[in-house]
Chain A
């Protein structure tokens, strides 16, 4: 039984981590593409249109990867988490089906038109198809987050005698207090990823003295979008989410902040330290007193329950992983704001394009928002443990009763092999696209 859950969880974690590398770029990038297209409509400068089309090529590769790695996610609810699907399908099936019917269709139908239809449609319609791709990808995010919000903080349901969750209030799924902060936080974080990628490609072109005009445009657009989105990710949306976790999942909150013992008056905020699960304390801790209580409740002396207040089987199952994920996310988020403030400052002084140390930094920065996004999701998902539906359905009770661990390990190994191949191909193609550059190809 233990093995079985381990492999099921590992397979889901591996496939969703890999999958989410792609949507986090496409959601944000669609916004930036719409921006370039809009600029072109207003200013009629070809470079904006070329930029929109260039990033649409990168978008298309990511979209393909997102689709082919996304279908396994929908399947796995049934294949590996059959009991969970049976019990909750009447509720989360709603939001997942809406994702398929409303947003995925919109995105994929109009993506083909955007890529192939520019000459057929004229510029205004072409802008509109780009906008619909953006709308579709953000609506996708919304429905997925609505599904996840219900698992984090279940609302509008009733549990029958046989354990089945029945939907009682449809609109509650969308007025769930967990949903809006999580959705906005997630979307702005995806804008961070894409704007850092755009800026990074820009810095690469400037430093390699290739496509310099485009390089400047990408860098400028990237750092402005990057600054605004990294600020919005932290405040107000990050702050809202932390308060939600403190309110609805206090055990997860204690674990992610690394509070082993409840303090009498006012909790410190931990900056650095390594959880020691045997002694139940943090090693090499650096912390600032009372700040956490103030950030969470606006009161310096407000008590925050530590992990000692919760029963063992209510606490997240992997506390160190949760703690590190959270601190990596917050740490990187803070560094992002710092670098982007600096970049915009140099941009205003018109020194950004020549200040090499900063250009090199921005060029190598692009993997880090991926890490921050991924660890951010780990915070949400590890914090939800040991439950699938918080407080109501335990993870151990959700797996497929008939699938043996040997079969799951077999498919897990298959996915690992296949995804390594996909990852290599992806890098090859994106590399080729960046190498070719945004200049219109001569036929």
Chain B
């Protein structure tokens, strides 16, 4: 049961990052590459039409995590208190940027909300990556100090950074040189993904330029990936054990690299949807390989006193998990039906779609 819910939550999260990932990415591209007002408008629109129905996947993942792994939810949300609240503020700035920019036809008004959308998208991508970095690096569970746990074994509190900025300090903060690298990987990945989305959904004048942007970012991504892997092995020499024991898990890694590999041919790809699928593969592969590498652990401990959080020691009781299965099956089918209906009805280029308000 635990494995089932773990898989489902991972799946909803992956869908969230594929969907909301493209509008984060569109924000990053918007910030750095959109120059003319027409491009700015159409790129903002390619995110603005969809962000709220994409973000419900985050809400759903949050709700499912709360229901199935309440101890994990409680531990992680209170432990990462500051970064999570900052993420909330960024989500708010991004959303109002998207919703409000077209409300007044006034240059300065638009410029303000464009920046709000772009900068918060950039930082959100960075923070989500840093979060993933924290999950694999682990935290000082129980807030131990001099060999004594200050809190219960499954609670902790992380400052934003500690003075060393090092994952090896024993009491690492949220931001250190390892999590920053993972954050950068996420920014680059989502920028690629967003660029593919813009090419797919709009006729913006920078579509052609974006293909070479994708190509360059893809080189950066490849280098960052190799760099981060070596950092990771330095921090945690056992990082690849799961893959050694269960080689089939490597399929996730293969998915990741096939996406990266494919995107080197972005300039030759004729159908825009293929580019989008390739960057989706990177997201799918990236998240699943990371999670697989620590499974069944979901939050490692950086001290030797308190063991890690796993899906087994944080799950809700059996009865609740199995009864939730009944409603979830129905709900899950509905989610995909809504998604398909929506993407069908709003398929094609969105340049001339009437922006209601």
A: residues with CB less than 8 A from B are 56-57, 60-61, 63-64, 67-72, 74-75, 77-80, 82-83, 85-94, 96-102, 104-106, 108-113, 115-117, 119-121, 164, 166-168, 170, 400-404, 407, 410-411, 414, 418, 422, 425, 429, 432-433
User: Which residue of A is nearest B327, CB measured?
Assistant: A98
Contact present for A94 and B78 (CB under 8 Å): no
Report which of B56, B81, B96, B338 forms a contact with A400, defined as CB distance below 8 A: B81
- Determine chain A's interface SS by DSSP, over half rule: helix
Q: A85-B73, A108-B52 are in contact. Are A78 and B78 (CB under 8 A)?
A: yes
Residue B229 at the A interface, CB < 8 A? no
Residues of A within 8 A of B354 (CB): 116, 119
Contact present for B67 and A105 (CB under 8 Å): no
Contact present for A167 and B317 (CB under 8 Å): yes
- Determine chain B's interface SS by DSSP, over half rule: helix
Q: How far is the CB of B90 from chain A (nearest CB, A)?
A: 11
Report which of B50, B332, B335, B357 forms a contact with A57, defined as CB distance below 8 A: B357
Contact present for A71 and B66 (CB under 8 Å): no
Query: A105–B55 Cα gap in the complex (Å)?
Result: 9
User: Which residue of A is nearest B142, CB measured?
Assistant: A402
Contact present for A115 and B357 (CB under 8 Å): yes
Report which of B96, B152, B316 forms a contact with A90, defined as CB distance below 8 A: B316
User: Which chain B residues (251-275) contact chain A, with CB distance < 8 Å?
Assistant: none
Query: A418–B76 Cα gap in the complex (Å)?
Result: 24
Contact present for B356 and A100 (CB under 8 Å): no
Residues of A within 8 A of B71 (CB): 86, 89
Q: Scoring B residues 334 to 357 as 1 if CB is less than 8 Å from chain A, else 0, what string do you get?
A: 110011011001100000011111
Q: How far is the CB of B9 from chain A (nearest CB, A)?
A: 10
A86-B70, A99-B63, A112-B52 given; 20 more Cβ-contact pairs under 8 Å? A72-B85, A78-B76, A82-B75, A85-B74, A89-B71, A92-B66, A94-B67, A94-B320, A100-B59, A101-B64, A101-B327, A101-B331, A102-B334, A108-B56, A116-B346, A166-B317, A167-B323, A401-B78, A402-B157, A403-B78
Contact present for A94 and B338 (CB under 8 Å): no
Contact present for B70 and A104 (CB under 8 Å): no
User: Which residue of B is nearest A119, CB measured?
Assistant: B354
Q: A98-B327, A112-B346, A402-B78 are in contact. Are A74 and B63 (CB under 8 A)?
A: yes
User: Which residue of B is nearest A80, CB measured?
Assistant: B78
Q: Which 9 A-B pairs have the closest CB atoms?
A: A89-B70, A78-B77, A93-B67, A97-B63, A90-B316, A82-B78, A400-B78, A402-B157, A86-B74
Query: A67–B339 Cα gap in the complex (Å)?
Result: 18
User: Which residue of B is nearest A15, CB measured?
Assistant: B88
Would you mind naming 5 contact pairs between A and B with Cβ atoms under 8 Å apart? A71-B59, A82-B75, A86-B70, A115-B356, A400-B81
Residue B91 at the A interface, CB < 8 A? yes
Contact present for A418 and B89 (CB under 8 Å): yes
Residue B312 at the A interface, CB < 8 A? no
Query: A47–B346 Cα gap in the complex (Å)?
Result: 27
Q: A57-B357, A100-B56 are in contact. Are A403 and B81 (CB under 8 A)?
A: yes
Q: A67-B52, A90-B70 are in contact. Are A79 and B81 (CB under 8 A)?
A: yes
Residue B103 at the A interface, CB < 8 A? yes
Report which of B60, B68, B319, B328 forms a contact with A105, defined as CB distance below 8 A: B60
Residues of B within 8 A of A99 (CB): 63
Query: A437–B50 Cα gap in the complex (Å)?
Result: 26
Q: How far is the CB of A395 from chain B (nearest CB, A)?
A: 16
Query: A194–B355 Cα gap in the complex (Å)?
Result: 25
Residues of A within 8 A of B62 (CB): 74-75, 100
User: Which residue of A is nearest B316, CB measured?
Assistant: A90
Query: A79–B155 Cα gap in the complex (Å)?
Result: 12
Query: A318–B67 Cα gap in the complex (Å)?
Result: 31
Query: A98–B355 Cα gap in the complex (Å)?
Result: 31
Query: A434–B112 Cα gap in the complex (Å)?
Result: 24
Residues of B within 8 A of A64 (CB): 52, 95-96, 99
Contact present for A68 and B91 (CB under 8 Å): yes
Q: How far is the CB of A415 from chain B (nearest CB, A)?
A: 8
Residues of B within 8 A of A97 (CB): 60, 63-64, 66-67, 324
Residues of A within 8 A of B53 (CB): 105, 108-109, 112
Residue B231 at the A interface, CB < 8 A? no
Query: A102–B326 Cα gap in the complex (Å)?
Result: 13
Query: A110–B165 Cα gap in the complex (Å)?
Result: 46
Contact present for B85 and A112 (CB under 8 Å): no
Residue B243 at the A interface, CB < 8 A? no
Contact present for B60 and A101 (CB under 8 Å): yes
Query: A351–B331 Cα gap in the complex (Å)?
Result: 51
Contact present for B70 and A71 (CB under 8 Å): no
Query: A6–B338 Cα gap in the complex (Å)?
Result: 42
Residues of A within 8 A of B58 (CB): 71
User: Which residue of A is nearest B143, CB measured?
Assistant: A402
User: Which residue of A is nearest B95, CB measured?
Assistant: A68
Q: Scoring B residues 311 to 322 as 1 if CB is less than 8 Å from chain A, else 0, what string do you get?
A: 000001101100
Q: Scoring B residues 7 to 50 as 1 if CB is less than 8 Å from chain A, else 0, what string do you get?
A: 00000000000000000000000000000000000000000011
User: Which residue of B is nearest A106, CB measured?
Assistant: B338
Q: Scoring B residues 127 to 160 as 1 if CB is less than 8 Å from chain A, else 0, what string do you get?
A: 0000000000000000100000001100111000
Residues of B within 8 A of A403 (CB): 78, 81, 157
Contact present for A89 and B79 (CB under 8 Å): no
Residue B100 at the A interface, CB < 8 A? yes
Q: A93-B66, A109-B341, A112-B50 are in contact. Are A98 and B78 (CB under 8 A)?
A: no
Residues of B within 8 A of A63 (CB): 52
Contact present for A112 and B63 (CB under 8 Å): no
